[in-house]
């Protein structure tokens, strides 16, 4: 903690791509080995051998987080270049990549055995945001307040309109891929930490979750860190957007913590309505509309985002993050999300390989 302002950290997942074709390449082990000399345990592999992950230290403010992300991106990008590859921030592979080459890790092998063909194209890259919240009981109650906002976070972080050489018609195809799985997506409403754990055990006992101790819901008290982790968003190419999204989530956690401590149990939107809101957010992204998960009302994404910022403004000002977040809102209004930028890039460059080139340039523009 820094005073009353919780620290924040970010995990980012990237694709390693060929500089000419834009195709993902199974070189994570070599790139991680090269980057570890500078980054240590802040870099690791991911589910496929085409992916790499970096994780920041806990950061006190937006400036520190940006510096940390810039350092990590620059280091892994240099290691990728040394292997003849490039670092690409896209939620899904833009060009055809074939079957996902699962990394050699016991947990990943177990997942492949459990979910089988569902994982054949599971080559997805996410942004995870961690906010310091060591009280796990409180973290579960805070999660209940965050659940209705998850679809909006999907819409404003969308960065996966193309998948394996196809225009999906969606802004966030990664969210659609993840929606197949019974262990991913919004967490169930939980009245307490014990209730949360009982739900995880029941799902694990059914065979739908690998391990009850490590649920992969889109919000969770992290199993190993004293944080509340939000996992719903695409990887974002623009580093300033990543920082702003992290500050939005920190403010959401702060506001929700105050409500939970005041005895507010949090809203309980219908689970099917929440799933529908996920789908609409993934399809429409920023330019379209979304389903308000509390009322079921269909509203423009821009209206939902304005409402969220009004809700968070006191916390954003208190954290010193108002300018950072409102700058992000201005970028959304002026040029949309990463998904919108990818489609503009295709129109300008005329090929999906050109889209990857633009993504690579933006990923390393720190």
CATH code where residue 300 lies: 3.30.590.20
Q: Rounded to an integer, what distance in angstroms lies between the CA atom of residue 362 and that of residue 366?
A: 8
Contacts of 223 (CB under 8 A, 6+ apart): 213, 214
Question: What pLDDT is recorded for position 295?
Answer: 83
The residues facing 102 across adjacent strands are: 48
Using only C-alpha atoms, the chain has a radius of gyration, in whole angstroms, of: 19
pLDDT score for 3: 46
Structure tokens at 297: 């009302």
CA–CA separation, 162 vs 338, rounded Å? 11
Distance CA 278, CA 274 (A): 6
Structural domain count of the chain: 1
Q: Closest Cα to residue 237, out of 337, 321, 330?
A: 337
CA distances from 361 to 32, 310, 364 (A): 21, 33, 6
Residue at 357 is within a domain = yes
CB burial class (10 A; 0-12, 13-18, 19+) of residue 100?
Answer: buried
pLDDT at res. 97 = 86
Residue 311 inside a domain? The answer is yes
DSSP 8-state assignment for residue 8: E
**Which residues span the domain enclosing 223?**
8-364
- Residue 166: phi, psi to the nearest 5? -120, 145
Q: Are 354 and 347 in contact (CB under 8 A)?
A: no
**Residues 312, 166: contact at Cβ < 8 Å?**
no
Looking at residue 66, what is its pLDDT?
A: 99
Report the C-alpha gap between 96 and 353 in whole angstroms: 10
Mutual angle of helices 136-146 and 239-261, in 10-degree steps: 110
The pLDDT profile of the chain, 366 residues, written as one tens digit per residue, is 334 899 999 999 999 999 999 999 999 999 999 999 999 999 999 999 999 999 999 999 999 999 999 999 999 999 999 999 999 999 999 999 888 899 988 889 999 899 999 999 999 999 999 999 999 999 999 999 999 999 999 999 999 999 999 999 999 999 999 999 999 999 999 999 999 999 999 999 999 998 898 899 999 999 999 999 999 999 999 999 999 999 999 999 999 999 999 999 999 998 899 999 999 999 999 999 999 877 889 999 999 999 999 999 999 999 999 999 999 999 999 999 999 999 999 999 999 999 999 999 999 998
Residue 253: inside a domain: yes
In a domain, 3, yes or no: no
Establish if 196 belongs to a structural domain: yes
């Amino acid at each position: 903690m820094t005073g009353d302002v919780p620290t924040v950290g970010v995990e980012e997942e990237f694709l390693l791509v060929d500089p000419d074709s834009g195709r993902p390449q199974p070189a994570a082990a070599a790139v991680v080995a090269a980057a570890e000399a500078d980054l240590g345990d802040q870099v690791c592999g991911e589910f496929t051998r085409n992916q790499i992950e970096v994780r920041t230290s806990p950061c006190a403010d937006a400036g520190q987080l940006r510096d940390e992300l810039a350092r990590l991106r620059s280091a892994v990008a240099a290691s990728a270049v040394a292997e003849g590859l490039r670092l690409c921030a896209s939620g899904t592979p833009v060009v055809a990549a074939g079957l996902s080459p699962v990394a050699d890790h016991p947990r990943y092998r177990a997942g492949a055995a459990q979910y089988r063909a569902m994982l054949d194209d599971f080559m997805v890259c996410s942004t995870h945001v961690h906010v310091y919240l060591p009280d796990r009981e409180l973290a579960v109650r805070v999660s209940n307040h965050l659940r209705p906002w998850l679809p909006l976070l999907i819409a404003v972080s969308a960065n996966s309109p193309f998948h394996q050489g196809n225009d999906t018609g969606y802004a966030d195809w990664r969210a659609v891929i993840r929606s197949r799985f019974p262990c991913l997506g919004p967490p169930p409403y939980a009245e307490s930490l014990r209730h949360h754990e009982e739900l995880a055990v029941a799902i694990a006992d059914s065979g739908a979750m690998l391990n009850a101790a490590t649920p992969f819901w889109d919000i969770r008290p992290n199993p190993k860190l004293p944080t509340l982790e939000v996992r719903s968003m695409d990887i974002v190419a623009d580093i300033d957007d990543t920082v702003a999204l992290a500050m939005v989530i920190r403010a959401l956690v702060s506001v929700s913590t105050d409500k939970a401590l005041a005895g507010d149990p949090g809203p309980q939107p219908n689970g099917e309505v929440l799933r529908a809101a996920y789908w609409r957010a993934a399809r429409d992204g920023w330019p379209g509309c979304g389903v308000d998960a509390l009322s079921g009302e269909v509203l423009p994404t821009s209206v939902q985002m304005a409402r969220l910022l009004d809700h968070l403004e006191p916390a954003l000002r208190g954290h010193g993050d108002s300018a950072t977040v409102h700058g992000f809102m201005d970028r959304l209004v002026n040029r949309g999300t990463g998904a919108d930028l990818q489609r503009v890039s295709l129109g300008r460059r005329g090929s999906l390989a050109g889209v990857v080139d633009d993504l690579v340039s933006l990923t390393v523009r720190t």
